[in-house]
Amino acid sequence: MDARGLLAKPDETLLEHLKKVVEEGRKIAHFLGLSPEMREKALLACLFHDLGKATESFQAKMRGERGRAYPHPLASLPFIIVTGNLSDPLSLAAAAAVLTHHSPLTKDLYREFKDKSADYVSEEILKGLLRELLDLIDEYQLGDHFPLYESLKLIRLYNKRSALLLEQNLRFGGETKTLRLVFKELPSQEYAAIKTVLMLADWLISSRKFSAEDLFLFEGGNKLKAYLSQKNWVLREFQRKISQLPEKRVWLRAPTGTGKTEALLLWAKDAERIIYLLPTQATANAMWKRLRCIYGEDKVGLAHGRAGYILRKEIEEEPLDFKLWASVFAKPVVVATLDQYLLAHLQGRHWEIRRTLAKNSALIMDEIHSYDPYTLGLLKAALEKEFPYKLALASATLPEFLISLLGEGPLVEAEKNLWERKRHKIILHTDRLDNFIFEIVEEARKGNKVLVIVNTVAKAQEIYQLLYGLLKNEISYLDESLLQLLHARFAFKDRWEKEEKLQNPSPGTILISTQIVEVSLDISFDVLFTEIAPIDALVQRLGRINRRGDNPPAPVHVFLEWYPGSEKIYGKNILEISTEILEGMQSEPTDGEWVQATNELYEKVISSPAYLKDLQEGEKTLKEIQDILGCYTIDLSDEELQKKFTTRKGQLSVEVLPYIFKDQVYALKEQGKLWRLVEFLVPVPLWWLGAYRQRFSKDEDLAVYWTDLSYDEKVGLRLPGEEESPSGAEIY
C-alpha cells in the first residue's frame, strides 16, 4: 500500500475525499464571505482534517477487518499544527477545527487517550502522503513553505501519543498555557467560521447527495412573488412599505390575520438564508408547513427539540439528513424556536455552525412580545455579541419598550382601519377563577366551547382534577371526555394527541390550559375564563376567542385575584399595573386600544426593580457563560454552569424521560426505533437539572436525563414539591 491507496471511506481514497472536501469548502467560504486569511485557514483545515485516517486500525476498519480505530481527528492534530505559527490565532483555530470536527471542544476532550499511541501507517507512506499534500497546497494556492515533515518529528517526539500535544505548554498572549487552554481562548467567531466551513463541507461530501448550493437560498424573492401571485394576493400598504426598506434592523406591528408573515418574507427578499424564529414548537411546526409551500419542500428546515420526530412522520426524505441540516440552521430557510438561537449563544452542541450561519442570515423574530425579561436579556446580549446580516422583529402588540431595548430601526405599522376590530366583551371579576367552576360548566352545557387559562401548570392540574371529579361524580349532563388539559409538561405523544383533538373541538368542550395556548394553537373558542396576566399576554389569550372577528364580541371573564405562583412568573408589580389598566378600559376594546394598553403597561414596568433585575440577569448569564466557556461547548452536567440556571424561570428547557416510560423506551431501543424516543420526552426548565439534581439522572447511552417525578397522560408531569426547592428557586 502507498499513500494513494489509503482509504477515507470503504469505496473512496483519502486523497480523493480530501480534494472533494476542499472544493466544497471553497464554495461555502465564498458564500459566507470569509476574508482571504480565514478562507485560507478554513481550506487548510479541509485539506488536513482526515490525515489521521492514515492509521493501521482505521485502514483495517475500512477493509472490514476491524471494528474500532484510533480517533482520526486526534491523529490528524500533529499534521495540521505544523502548518501555521503557534502564536497565530487563525492557524490555531484551523487546528482546533480539525481536532473537533467529530466532537465538541471540551475541557476533557481526548484526555483518556493521553497514554494511548496512534498506530500510524509506516513513515514511508506518511512521507508519500505529505508529498501529495504539498502538491495540493500549491494547486489550491494555500500558501507555501509549510514544514509538513516536522509533523513526523512531533509524532516521534510524543511516541505517537497525539493527545499529549493538548497538554503541551505554549507561550500565547504573553502567558504560558497548554494547547488545550489556548484552543479554549481562541477568538470564538473566527474559530466558529473555520469549523463551519470544514464541517459543512465534510458533511456534504459524506452525504453524496447534497452540495454547497443546497445550503443557500437563490431567488427567494421571486419564489415568494410567484406564490403571492398564484394566491391573487393584493399587497397592503404596510407590506409594500416594509419590502422597500434598506435598513438592517426593522420593526413591524400588525394585527393577527392581516398578512404579517407575508410582510416579513417580503422584507427578507433575496437573502441567502432566512431563519424564522417563533416562541413555541407548535407555531414553528405550522410555519414550517406554510413556508414549504412558498420556497419548496426541500429548502425549508425545522429546528426545535422535537423536529426529528415531526420530519420522520411528515416527509419521505431521510430524517437524519433533514434534521441535521435544519438543526444547525443549514437549510436555506429554517423555522426554529427562539431557544435554538439562544442555546447556540449559550454554546450548545454545534454552536459554531449555528452562530456562523445565523450571522449571515436574514433573521426574523415573530411574536417578540412573548418573552419574559430574563429571556429578553439573553437575547439582547446575543444580538450585541453577534448581529445577523439583517434583523426583523414583529408582533401584533409590539411595545415601544422592546424597540428601545433591542435596537432602534424603522417601525412599520399596519393601516389604521386594520386596528378597529372589536372582538371581545371584557367582564372583570374581583375573585379567584376556581370560585366560578359551576359557571364554566354552565357555559359548556349551553354548547359553548370554553377556554380556561391560568398562569401555572400546578394550578391548571388542580382545576382540571376539580372539574374532572365534578363531571364524573356529580354532574351527569356533561361527559368528562369533553374536559381537556393542556400545558407544557406533557410527553410529546400525549400533547400531540391533545392538540390534534383540539383542532376541531366538540360543542361543550372545556379546555384548561396555561400560557402555552397563547401562541401554540390556531383555535377559536366561544368563551374565555382567564386569570389576570400582563396586558400583552391577555391579548394573546383573547386571540383564541372569536379569533377572526366573524361573530359579535365574545364574553371574556378576567379574574383579578391571582394565585401565588403568578407573581413568580410575571411579578406582582406587572399584575397590579395590568389590573389597573384593565379597569380603566371600555368593555369592548378595539385591537388598536389593546396596543395602547400594552404600551402603557411597559412604560410603567420597565423601571421596576424586579423587571430590570430579571433583564440584567439574562444579559449577565449569557455573557458569563460565554466568558467561562470560551470556545468550549456547554456541558450541562458541569456544576459551575448548573448554578447559572438554578433559580431561573427563563424559558430555556431540556427534555427528560419519566421513569414510567422505561419499558417502552428500552423496547424501542431493541427494535431499532429510537427515533420514536421523542414521543416520551417531557420539557422541563433547564434550571431544574441543578435545583433538583436528585430527581434527575443522565443516561449516557440515550443522551437524555431520566426523572423520577410522577407522570400520567391526563395530568402530565407532577412538579417537585415545595419542600425540595432550594433557597430562591421558583416553582410554578
Type and span of the H or E element at 7: strand 7-9
224 and 138 belong to one structural domain: no
- Inter-residue contact 13 to 7 (CB < 8 Å): yes
Q: What is the pLDDT of residue 76?
A: 96
Question: CA of 375: how far to CAs of 325, 618, 648, in Å?
Answer: 26, 6, 10
Q: How far apart are CA 391 and CA 147, in angstroms?
A: 45
185 and 284 belong to one structural domain: no
CB count in 10 Å sphere of residue 201:
27
Residue 470 domain-assigned (yes or no): yes
> Which amino acid appears at position 58 of this protein?
F
Length of the chain equals: 732
Q: What is the pLDDT of residue 639?
A: 56
CB count in 10 Å sphere of residue 35:
12
The residue whose grid cell reads 443557500 is 216
- Three-state secondary structure call for residue 91: helix
Q: How far apart are CA 325 and CA 264, in angstroms?
A: 23
CATH code for the domain of 20: 1.10.3210
**Pairing state between β 274-278 and 362-365:** parallel
383 and 434 belong to one structural domain: no
135 and 254 belong to one structural domain: no
696 DSSP assignment: E
* Residue segments in the chain with a per-residue pLDDT below the cut of 70: 173, 306-323, 476-477, 519-520, 636-652, 721-732
Phi-psi region of 302 (alpha: psi -120 to 50; beta: other; left: phi over 0): beta
535-561 burial, b at 16+ Cβ within 10 Å, e below that, comes to bbbbbbbbbbbbbebeeebbbbbbbbe
365 and 321 belong to one structural domain: yes
Backbone angles phi, psi at 397, to 5 degrees: -120, 55
Q: What is the pLDDT of residue 57?
A: 94
Query: Which of 589, 621, 650 is a domain's end point?
Result: 589
**Three cell numbers written together for 331:** 437549510
146-164 burial, b at 16+ Cβ within 10 Å, e below that, comes to bebeebbebbeebebbbbb
Residue 612 domain-assigned (yes or no): no
- Three-state secondary structure call for residue 74: helix
200 and 285 belong to one structural domain: no
Residue 706 domain-assigned (yes or no): yes
Residue 614 domain-assigned (yes or no): no
**Three cell numbers written together for 242:** 416594509
Q: What is the pLDDT of residue 520?
A: 64
Range of the domain at 710: 635-724
- Inter-residue contact 582 to 535 (CB < 8 Å): yes
400 and 270 belong to one structural domain: yes
370 DSSP assignment: G
CATH code for the domain of 346: 3.40.50.300
> Which amino acid appears at position 393 of this protein?
L
Transcribe 299-363 into DSSP letters: TEEEESTTHHHHHHHH--S-HHHHHHHHHTT-SSEEEEEHHHHHHHHTT-TTHHHHHHHHHTSEE
Backbone angles phi, psi at 717, to 5 degrees: -80, 130
pTM: 0.86
Residue 137 domain-assigned (yes or no): yes
Query: Which of 416, 446, 480 is a domain's end point?
Result: 416
Question: CA of 299: how far to CAs of 33, 291, 444, in Å?
Answer: 21, 9, 44
**Strand partners of residue 555:** 425
Give, in degrees to the nearest 5, the angle at Cα 494 between 681 and 478.
Answer: 155
228 and 288 belong to one structural domain: yes
Residue 618 domain-assigned (yes or no): no
Q: How far apart are CA 575 and CA 337, in angstroms?
A: 27
CB count in 10 Å sphere of residue 118:
27
pLDDT in tens, 446-475: 999 999 999 999 999 999 999 988 887 777
Backbone angles phi, psi at 613, to 5 degrees: -60, -45
- Three-state secondary structure call for residue 425: strand
pLDDT in tens, 568-622: 888 888 899 999 999 999 999 999 999 999 999 988 888 888 888 989 999 999 9
Query: Which of 393, 416, 439 is a domain's end point?
Result: 416
CB count in 10 Å sphere of residue 219:
11
Residue 15 CB contacts under 8 Å (≥ 6 apart), including other chains: 3, 4, 6, 129, 132, 136
Q: How far apart are CA 281 and CA 303, in angstroms?
A: 9
384 and 427 belong to one structural domain: no
500 and 552 belong to one structural domain: yes
Q: How far apart are CA 385 and CA 182, in angstroms?
A: 21
647 and 676 belong to one structural domain: yes
Q: What is the pLDDT of residue 334?
A: 96
CB count in 10 Å sphere of residue 200:
27
Residue 347 domain-assigned (yes or no): yes
Residue 544 domain-assigned (yes or no): yes
**Three cell numbers written together for 177:** 498555557
**Three cell numbers written together for 697:** 439522572
- Inter-residue contact 73 to 103 (CB < 8 Å): yes
What is the separation of C-alpha 349 from the centre of its chain, rounded to a whole number of angstroms? 11
How many distinct structural domains can be found in the chain?
A: 4
440 and 521 belong to one structural domain: yes
